[in-house]
Structure 1
Amino acid sequence: MAIIPESISGNDSTRPLRQLLVEFFERSGIPNRFRWNGMDPIVRDRALERAKGLHLGISDNELERYLTVGLVIAVTAFGHTPRDVQVEIALYTFFCTMADDSVMSHEMLREFVPRIFRGEPQLHPILAELLKELSILRQYFTPYSSNIITTNTMDFFSAEMFLRDEGGSDSGSANSTEYVDYIRWKTGIGEAYAAFIWPCSMFPQTKTYIQAIPDAIQFICLCNDLLSYYKEAQAGETDNYVSHRTAGGQSPMDTLEEMVNRLVVLDGRIKAILGEGAEKAAWESFASGPSGKPQSANKA
């Protein structure tokens, strides 16, 4: 299957994880829907022109590396949306990925939300451009979706600063699983990316898809964590969703199997909620791409 990373396709030690991923893809039907026709040059060129016209204080190599993350997400997961929407999603992801990857200081990030409410300039041009992008996105989504894109972006910054400043809360208990999920839904920006699935030019009424958003949030974050776990484990990273869920005593494979089961149930319920029509088709197109935000340019 082309969508299974090559790095986990032939190693005995990773065979259980590979089999688990195969099971997920087969049970969800993703291989039957997945299509990759390469990068859309029009979306790429428009996004690159916009990004290079900004004064972000980063090198051209950094700009192109981080923008590639946004472009891959926009073109693969949101290829069903108009090109102008894909460009904005690529730029939004570009800005958020740089914030998530510590391109700027913690103090600059910590001040992002407070300065919005105080009406003060942001401390880094990337953050200033992200704020402008949140305003631009309002042209492409319903008022409700536009609002949750903005509030979820602020949730992301708030949760990230809590984790960086205080190290998060103790998740080493079987009773802390709800907290692990709670904080992950915020750091994963799942609500914003769920809203991106249904732009207002295609879906002018929020009520036609809003009931699917709670499950879509979870699917986006869990799918990203499932697909990124192998690389994180190989790198010795322990600050991830699976590790926090296993802190209560569950094994990593048991946790991953539970995630697969949850994802299959979520996908089925979302499709049942949306019924037969354009809303469901948009979801299926999205879910066949890399559902969720990469945590850094190095992990993309």
Structure 2
Amino acid sequence: MPEVLGSIRQSITGFLQRCGLQYKNVPLDETWYSECCQEATKRGHPMDAILPYMSVGVAITSNAYGHLTDRPTKMWICLFTVVCTCMDDTMTSGTDLVHVYRFNERFANCQPHEHPVMHALDGIIREVACHYPAPVSNFIVTSGLNYVSSLLLDHETKDMRISPQAPSYPDYSRMLSGIPYAYAYCIFPSTLPLQEYVQCMLDLVIVINHTNDILSYYKEEIQGDSANYLSLVAASRGLTKQSALRELVEKTVQAHHSILEFLRPRPEAYDAYVAFFNGYFKFHTQGRYKLEEIM
């Protein structure tokens, strides 16, 4: 295990250096935390279920989306994150899963949900058009709905053998589960024309998903998680997890620098992305991913 941890540390350190990031523990914004709790309570969200995940939503909005000036939009991102994280942690097995299976149909038909977390997510997704114009709002909605489907996909495939004949499957699964399109479109102010940044959308998706995969890998490895993205990649391509991690670092660094090159002549989009990327890393230092244990 010490060798494995050393390899993980080396990969993460290399990733940070090549992206110009420096590890620094950032405290949670307690004022923003209080505001978000008050807003969730005011909306009637099920606080008993979602409160344990409030810090995740607060951390991502105060760090990765702190550059956005529209406070209601940041609140939306926070609550969306909180509810989705809650679902991922608490609704992927047992009787709650029945409600997840019914979510998209009930959402499409404007039918009430029998579970308070599902009800909260429904309202949050419907609200997105208040914060972003079409087609951006459309992409965010479909990303949210795909996330719900990804929970079902994980359930349906939990005993599935990963085939080396389908090496792209882990990427397909991750595109759904990471909600990357929603988080990518949210980087940019709603007033910024789509054409300023849309051509680098796939690279943004790579950066969002795989920065998380890289920085959460240590936590998942010590917890014995064998169903994460890197484990699936390793299984599908006959690699060790450490080799898969090194390749993923390379892919993510390249995507990051491609984004910077494309956005450089577009200062508003460039500044938004740089602020997001630096903040997205800070989000990963706030306890949930246990990076302080190896940095």
The TM-score, its normalising length taken from structure 1, stands at 0.86
AA at the equivalent of 1:47 = C
Q: Give the distance between the partners of 1:292 and 1:207, measured in 2 at CA.
A: 28
Partner residue of 2:65?
78
Partner residue of 1:190?
180
Is 1:252 aligned with 2:241? Answer: yes
Equivalent residue for 1:113, pick from 104, 110, 119: 104
Matches within 5 A, 1:1-300: 13-31=4-22, 38-59=27-48, 62-82=49-69, 83-103=71-91, 105-167=96-158, 170-173=161-164, 175-201=165-191, 203=192, 205-247=193-235, 248-276=237-265, 277-290=267-280
Aligned length: 282
Identity %: 25
Unaligned runs of 5+ in 1: 1-7
Q: Quick check: 2:57–2:78 contact (8 Å CA) kept in 1?
A: yes
AA at the equivalent of 1:193 = Y
RMSD value, Cα: 2.6
Q: 1:154-193 CA deviation, whole Å, 9 max, x = no partner?
A: 11111221220343754231x3221110110111101100
Q: Give the distance between the partners of 2:6 and 2:214, measured in 1 at CA.
A: 15
Q: Give the distance between the partners of 1:273 and 1:127, measured in 2 at CA.
A: 38
Q: Give the 3 Å change call, closer, same or farther, for CA 272–168 of structure 1 in structure 2.
A: farther
Q: Quick check: 1:78–1:286 contact (8 Å CA) kept in 2?
A: yes
Q: 1:186-212 CA deviation, whole Å, 9 max, x = no partner?
A: 1110110001101214x2x11111112
Q: Give the distance between the partners of 1:169 and 1:219, measured in 2 at CA.
A: 27
Partner residue of 1:3?
none
Q: Quick check: 1:142–1:206 contact (8 Å CA) kept in 2?
A: no
Partner residue of 1:4?
none
Q: 1:68-115 CA deviation, whole Å, 9 max, x = no partner?
A: 110001111111112332211111101111111124700111111011
AA at the equivalent of 1:186 = L
Q: Give the distance between the partners of 2:11 and 2:68, measured in 1 at CA.
A: 31
AA at the equivalent of 1:73 = I
Unaligned runs of 5+ in 2: 291-295
AA at the equivalent of 1:17 = I
Q: Give the distance between the partners of 1:237 and 1:90, measured in 2 at CA.
A: 26
3-state DSSP of counterpart to 2:130:
coil
3-state DSSP of counterpart to 2:57:
helix
Q: Quick check: 2:128–2:141 contact (8 Å CA) kept in 1?
A: no
Q: Give the distance between the partners of 1:166 and 1:275, measured in 2 at CA.
A: 42
Q: Quick check: 1:155–1:187 contact (8 Å CA) kept in 2?
A: yes
Q: 1:241-261 CA deviation, whole Å, 9 max, x = no partner?
A: 111111131111110110110
Higher relative contact order (CA 8 A, sep 6+): 2
AA at the equivalent of 2:268 = A
